[in-house]
Copies of this chain bind each other. A is one copy, B any other.
């Protein structure tokens, strides 16, 4: 059994919730996609397997609470998630011009954030950093056309 599945099962048991066929499929879908996904892309991924979109929406918070998935960013009025197994956390860079999303490591920021957390006795669960601006490709195009 995959690491993520047993982690999910463990979480569900701790909450007296059930490990169902639909939930397994949603979990698998989430880990089969190696980019940001929203509820609809998960649903699309398991289309034909008789799992309703409502169930995908209902499963997403469970995956978050289980520490398997986290909200990555909001784009075009929709929530996008990413799975986290042991993945280093990362920054998200959003280009306001082309809407592309880039990622970089955030390792070096963690100690600083943990320090701040400590001083106000805050227990960190997830860290989410978004930087909006213009990426080099778009900056380049702007210059080209001037």
Contacts and interface: CB of A to CB of B under 8 A. Distances in A.
Interface of A: 74, 91, 93, 95-96, 102, 104, 108-109, 112-113, 116-117, 120-136, 139
Contacts of A126: 131-133
- So how many copies of this chain end up in the complex? 2
A134 B112 CA distance: 18
Nearest to A92: B128
A128 to B, nearest CB: 4
Given A108-B112, A109-B109, A134 B129 contact: no
Among A102, A109, A132, A135, the most chain B Cβ lie within 10 Å of the Cβ of: A132
A116 B131 CA distance: 11
A127 B106 CA distance: 14
A117 B129 contact: no
Contact of A131 (B124, B136, B139): B124
Contacts of A132: 124-126, 128
30 contacts: A74-B74, A91-B113, A93-B120, A93-B122, A95-B122, A96-B125, A102-B120, A109-B112, A113-B131, A120-B136, A121-B135, A121-B136, A121-B139, A122-B133, A123-B133, A123-B134, A124-B131, A124-B132, A125-B134, A126-B131, A126-B132, A126-B133, A127-B130, A127-B131, A128-B129, A128-B130, A128-B131, A128-B132, A129-B129, A129-B130
